Structure 1
Amino acid sequence: MGSDSHYQIPAIDFSINSTELDRGTDKWYNLCKRVREACENYGCFEIAYDKIPLQLKADTFSMIRQLFNLPVETKEKNVNPKPFHGYYGQYPTTPFYESFGIEDSSNYESFKSFTELMWPDGHEQFCNTVVTMVKKMDELKEMIEMMILDSYGLGEKLNSIIACKTLLRVMKYDAPPSGQYANGHYGLTPHTDKLVSTILCDDQVSGLEFETKDGQWVKLSLSPTSYLFIVGDPLLAWSNGRMHRLKHRVMISGEKERYSLGAFGSPLEGTIINAAKELVDDEHPRILKDFDYKDFSKFTFTQEGSAIDSEMQVFAFAGISST
């Protein structure tokens, strides 16, 4: 893990031939424990994962560049009333950042509809390549979710942590004007993710930074075969505060554009976020009320919600008073 600091996040090997991936074995449960500890102590971990071919990853980023090269009026057809579920760009507060949200993106028909919106004559290569990539990222996310459940002894009790569909977000950060922002400029401001969890990968152009528990900002660089798992606010709520959310940002500098893509766990319509009852006890009293995910998501974009620091929004919305 490359960094300009001695502080490094855990790196966990999920190689295809690893016997640790055989569920139910002692090695599996040891791996689950490492995943849980990483989520609790860091809010993220790096995954060495060779089940996604490097060529598929390269082809996916090639397709994504074609998407961002489309005219603005075409991009803006990607409309969705949910925050960050559609096209986002051309905003003065984040002038170097733009992104697309593609809902239920591992569903071929859903993704095909998006593709035909962008390319009315169709773009089969784009559709097939990116859907294949998303499905493989989904497999990884589902395995990590099972590890989290097993690590808390809940794998036989619960089918999932929070019922979700995959929201694919593809992101582009323009290089700043030549000679400007040599020390970095916000591509994306500091925040915690409002979706359940994220599997993230990038095109090897640096920029992602995370905040340590003692307030230091550390650069994070992934290897070509690595992915990043990020804990979001709903996982904090589900784990009753055991898991640490990753506060992160993107700082841009240099002369290269940065591209990244993330498979986000987006709760199904009507989902109520609550703490798993097995994770509430005298030592761990409830820290948040049950809350409707859709209402929480909307709150973060209200005038009241947006005035609150990102990591405190969930407590402002659903916190339990200690008095």
Structure 2
Amino acid sequence: MDSTLFLPAAAFALDMALGDPHHWPHPVRLIGRALERLERLVQPSPPDRDKGVPGSPDAPGRKSGATPAAKRVFGALVAALLGLGVYALVAWLGRISSVGWIFSLYLAYAGLALGQLTRETRAVAALIGSGRLDEARAALAFLVSRDTSVLDEAGLWRTLAETASENFCDAFVAPMFFLCLGGPPLLWLYKTVSTMDSMWGYKTPRFADLGWAGARADDVLAYIPARLSACLLIAAGFLMGLPAGKAWASFRPDARKMASPNAGWPMAAAAWLCGASMGGTAVYFGRTVEKPKLGPQYVSWDILLFRTLTRLIFISGFGMVLLSELLLVALCTVFS
């Protein structure tokens, strides 16, 4: 039987065992550096992630570089050419005689991030649970784009639950979905677009035009995985004895409240299954935003509910691997 049939399971096992060691080179970091260099071609200065503060690229009065139309065209070209370039490179590496399977396995594993997501969110949860809130705010700031310095304990738990459930799709289900559809090359085309969205996809003066194409491409690519993520969470919740029926009846109207066409699906499903609310007031780049409320209202997250969410995500992830292997076996049987 073709060894590629077992690629999703092998990649999942490596991801959960190893995560993303910071001292290892990682393709996402290389893509990120490429995007930073490309941005300098149309922006007047290197990116400053501390937006909204005096002297930052988004501060009033700073020149914006290229025109908005030119930025949109440039962003679309980067999304297309960089994505296709990465696809071609990964495909070539996988075809190298004798060692191609090693590259394929590594790139499949490196494209998944459920293990690292679990490690990082548990580390933040431990800090919150032990009352080390300042350390928790600093650690959480590496996982989210909102301002964590203004969060109290309840806000820290809620934000942590939101990022864990949303990234279940972005970090695992979507990459695994494309791994099954087209192997590591298609997975890394998706990861290129997703990285572009995470770096340039902000609705700020600096990135609104430059990141428009990447953000729209990410919306399209993640459309099915986001809904699949919610279904996996509901199925896992049923197995765990959580209120899956109520969640199934309630999460879809909530998911559609979000500005993003995809983010609300796993978030709303997780909120209803765990019985705690998501959304509400958040601060992004110095601006206060009222996000739609998801899940049961006025129920706050705590360490016990977050542990339930962690188990829910792990079981859902295992379900995605099982589904992927069954799909690959079925396709192999049909087309053999």
- TM-score (norm: length of structure 2): 0.23
Q: Which has the higher strand share?
A: 1
